[in-house]
Structure 1
Amino acid sequence: MTGDRRERDELLVESAEHVLTVTFNRPGQRNAMTWNMYQGLVDACDVADGGDTRVMVLRGAGGKAFVAGTDIAQFESFDGPKGVAYEQRISEVLHRLRAVDVPVIAAVDGYCVGGGLGIAACADIRVCSPSSRFGVPIARTLGNCLSADTVDLLMQLLGRARVVDMLLQARFIEAQEAYQSGFVTAVADDVDAAAHDIAARLLSHAPLTMWSVKESVRRLSAGGPVDDTDIVERVYGSQDFARAVRAFVTKTDHTWEGR
């Protein structure tokens, strides 16, 4: 893609034609996340919400991994309080990603592990390659844990029984199981092309309608009764809706502006 590029050594953020592409860029370490990468992802979310972005795409460099969790070397000095602070920070990052106003697509190629699975779970649409594997094998590797917040997110998407089995047995979910469970939308040999095709389709759709879907899902996921008055009022009161109705009646073209 061409366009304005903002780069960090470990994270690439590129904007072109209303699509913001974030590439986790440590292929030699299977794109394991550093603290700077987590902050870079938060910054990218701010970019997505602050400009003319209509779709956000997440991908991993190197073709072997989306994100293989957090860089383990960063855990060497950890104790209980540091573990609490770490899990709270991860929850903050994941909540920020889920709060992005525009649709988020995760293009998974290879391992999607630990924190990487959490990041992918925050996307609205996921596609993966046939060789992709999803899991959090910490019961046989590090012996740490996930926050209840992250466990809840995974259970919402994969189901309680599958998540408990996956965590207790430290097993990986293969691409076909991820597809059959509904976690991924499609399994494709070229996940970047698949993500590009989906992004192109979303660019032709009403931004506020897509925002309303995301916002309703966010509120419903929190549990309890949901007041959607502001959502409905914003969409039905928008210029986009008024112009689309007029265009439909008069059989003329119109352009979505997101307002």
Structure 2
Amino acid sequence: MMYEHLLMETKEQVAVVTINNPKSLNALNSATLAELNACLAEIEKSKDIRVVIITGAGAKAFVAGADISEMVNATAAEGRAMALLAKEAFRRLETMPQATIAAVNGYALGGGCELAMSCDIRVAAENAVFGQPECGLGILPGFGGTQRLARLVGKGRAKELIFTCDKIDAQEAYRIGL
């Protein structure tokens, strides 16, 4: 299947899915989320694929969050629909039979951090930065990030990161179990 916002390649038993919009730092919009969910559904059915690697195009960002240009003009119903698309795709990542790996290059902020947390394993480049900066705008992570973060790093540390809107580098993420 061909995608407009993703690249998907398979080699042996590994599928590499690349969020491919480096001009927007691979920000997630509704179209990208729909494609990601469809791509993961296709992979999930495959008996030949054993591992899925999710990454972002370019060196600057894994995924820098939700596409603000889409969200700023969205109605409440459109915002809910986008959140449901993301939750469905991210939940699929969590529950699919294949091992899932987030190869985090650069920024993994907001929805990008939530996408990475949905994978079984996160491998981060030295320039990786994790965080939930939407909290600074009075917006809770909308794609399940509060629950995933607490499961990974503990309730207290998750609250600290969410309440302070702190961004952390790859070494700190590794140290706390993210």
User: How far, CA to CA, are the matches of 1:163 and 1:97 in structure 2?
Assistant: 21
> In percent, how many aligned pairs have the same letter?
34
- Which residue of structure 2 lines up, in the alignment, with residue 153 of structure 1? 148
1:97-108 correspondence runs (5 A): 97-108=93-104
Deviations 1:21-67 (A, max 9, x none): 10011111111112111111111212222221111111111111100
Matched, 1:48 2:73: no
Could you tell me how far 1:119 is from its partner in structure 2?
0.8
| One of 72, 75, 83 as aligned partner of 1:76 | 72
Matched, 1:172 2:167: yes
User: How far, CA to CA, are the matches of 1:147 and 1:29 in structure 2?
Assistant: 20
- Which residue of structure 2 lines up, in the alignment, with residue 11 of structure 1? 6
- Which residue of structure 2 lines up, in the alignment, with residue 39 of structure 1? 34
| Higher strand proportion (structure 1 or 2) | 2
Runs of 5+ unmatched residues, structure 1? 1-5, 184-259
| One of 101, 116, 121 as aligned partner of 1:120 | 116
Letter in 1 for 2:175: Q
- Which residue of structure 2 lines up, in the alignment, with residue 206 of structure 1? none
Letter in 2 for 1:131: N
Matched, 1:110 2:96: no
Runs of 5+ unmatched residues, structure 2? none
Instruction: Judge conservation of contact 2:107–2:130 (CA < 8 Å) in 1.
Output: yes
Task: Report the secondary structure of 2:134's partner residue.
Answer: coil
Letter in 2 for 1:21: V
RMSD: 1.8
| Pair member with larger Rg | 1
- Which residue of structure 1 lines up, in the alignment, with residue 127 of structure 2? 131
Instruction: Judge conservation of contact 2:86–2:143 (CA < 8 Å) in 1.
Output: no
Say if 1:45 and 1:131 are closer, same or farther in 2 by CA, change over 3 A. same
Paired positions, count: 177
Matched, 1:21 2:36: no
- Which residue of structure 1 lines up, in the alignment, with residue 63 of structure 2? 67
Could you tell me how far 1:134 is from its partner in structure 2?
0.2
Could you tell me how far 1:148 is from its partner in structure 2?
8.5
TM superposition score normalised by structure 1? 0.64
Letter in 1 for 2:83: E
Say if 1:97 and 1:148 are closer, same or farther in 2 by CA, change over 3 A. closer
Task: Report the secondary structure of 1:40's partner residue.
Answer: helix
Instruction: Judge conservation of contact 1:24–1:67 (CA < 8 Å) in 2.
Output: yes
Could you tell me how far 1:144 is from its partner in structure 2?
2.2
Could you tell me how far 1:87 is from its partner in structure 2?
2.9
User: How far, CA to CA, are the matches of 1:148 and 1:104 in structure 2?
Assistant: 18
TM superposition score normalised by structure 2? 0.91
